[in-house]
Amino acid sequence: MSHLFNLAHRRNWLKPVVGGLCALWLALGAGMAWAQTAQPSPLQAIQQRGVLVVGVKKDVPLWGLLNPATGDLEGLEVDLAKDLASQLGVKLQLEGVLTANRLGWLESRRVDVLIATVANTPERHSQMTMVSPNYHASGTSVVARKSLNFRDWSDLRNRRICSRRNAYFNRPVSVKYGADIVALYSANHALQALRDGRCAGFLYGDTQISALLSDPAYKDRYEMALPPINLTPWAVVIHRLDKGSDLEAAVSKALVQWFRDGLISRLQQKWGLRTPTFTREREALWQRKDGGRPYCGEVVGPQTPQECL
């Protein structure tokens, strides 16, 4: 009897020990499995691939446009994408996007980064990660035939005004000024409608209108009809889930370097664009030193002055 009692007692005593060892083994096994299947960080994935995929516009003259003769994407933002890939030490793959599809391409990760005239609006912060600092700023205006003599935003009331699908300024202009906004798939579609007389004007960024009016096909008959409103900065953007990642830090570092080196103003000159106050101020701030230290800091962080962003 005593033998049976001792055997049973040992079994009862061993149960928690064996159970603990099993739990430890399972935990270690799970940890090893996690280590083996852990995904690389966003920047590591790009470096392992050796290619950075950047979405740029393919319908905005001087910023991102598909050259019909060569089939190449070219423009200021294309040049920025080239420099970004160089700073990351990888090759560049360009993808031409439109306002209507650029968010979908980013969300589905068909592109790693967008440098595609994306206005940094509060509504978009839940859809994508806006990388600081911003690299440009643009207002909203209307390109129209000079003969229409638009001079005030109230002149758009009940007029058929073309725009692009998903442009952030469509609804505000419709609500505030009573314009009949016709949102088309791309800038090319909207411009064709303008030329055909199906629209009285084309609602567009003032930066893009300035570029457009440098084209002989437009500068004689068309004008930037109204003073720009809603000055809004543009951001380089990455996937919403990549916020706080090493990719965000690397892109932010590149943006800072663009201002410190004066690259953006040089590219504006290269593409025949005037250098706006926004660019001049940001370059001066990022190049400024107080007491031998950079005024804006070495990188973007919690202590970065707001005017540097």
pLDDT tens profile 129-144? 999 999 999 999 999 9
Q: What distance in Å separates the CA atoms of residue 279 and residue 260, rounded to the nearest whole number? A: 11
Give pLDDT, residue 27. Answer: 38
Is 255 in the same domain as 268? yes
pLDDT under 70: residue ranges of the chain? 1-37
Is 219 in the same domain as 147? yes
Is 119 in the same domain as 257? yes
Is 209 in the same domain as 238? no
3-state secondary structure of 109: coil
Is 53 in the same domain as 128? yes
Is 105 in the same domain as 160? no
Inside any domain, residue 281:
yes
Give pLDDT, residue 148. Answer: 96
Instruction: Domain count for the chain, please give it.
Output: 2
3-state secondary structure of 94: strand
Inside any domain, residue 307:
no
Domain boundary among 191, 214, 231: 231
Is 257 in the same domain as 114? yes
Inside any domain, residue 194:
yes
Inside any domain, residue 18:
no
Give pLDDT, residue 33. Answer: 37
Inside any domain, residue 36:
no
Q: From the DSSP assignment, how many helices (H) and strands (E) are in the chain?
A: 11, 14
Give pLDDT, residue 295. Answer: 96
Inside any domain, residue 75:
yes
Is 123 in the same domain as 266? yes
Beta strands in the chain (DSSP E): 51-57, 59-60, 64-66, 73-74, 91-97, 113-114, 128-145, 160-164, 180-184, 201-205, 222-224, 229-239, 289-290, 293-294
Per-residue burial over 295-308, b if 16 or more Cβ lie within 10 Å, else e, is bbeeebeeebeeeb
Give pLDDT, residue 38. Answer: 80
Is 162 in the same domain as 53? no
Give pLDDT, residue 211. Answer: 87
Is 133 in the same domain as 164? no
3-state secondary structure of 57: strand
Domain range enclosing 112: 42-138+232-287+295-301
Domain CATH for 55: 3.40.190.10
Q: Which residues pair with 55 in a beta bridge?
A: 95, 114
What is the DSSP annotation of 152-190?
A: SGGGGTT-EEEEETT-TTHHHHHHHH--EEEEESSHHHH
Q: Are 257 and 87 within 8 A, CB to CB? A: yes
Is 46 in the same domain as 134? yes
Inside any domain, residue 221:
yes
- Strands 59-60 and 64-66 turn out to be antiparallel
Per-residue burial over 15-46, b if 16 or more Cβ lie within 10 Å, else e, is eeeeeeeeeeeeeeeeeeeeeeeeeeebbeeb
Domain boundary among 231, 247, 277: 231
Is 117 in the same domain as 242? yes
Give pLDDT, residue 16. Answer: 42
Inside any domain, residue 156:
yes
Q: What distance in Å separates the CA atoms of residue 309 and residue 300, rounded to the nearest whole number? A: 8
Domain boundary among 194, 211, 231: 231
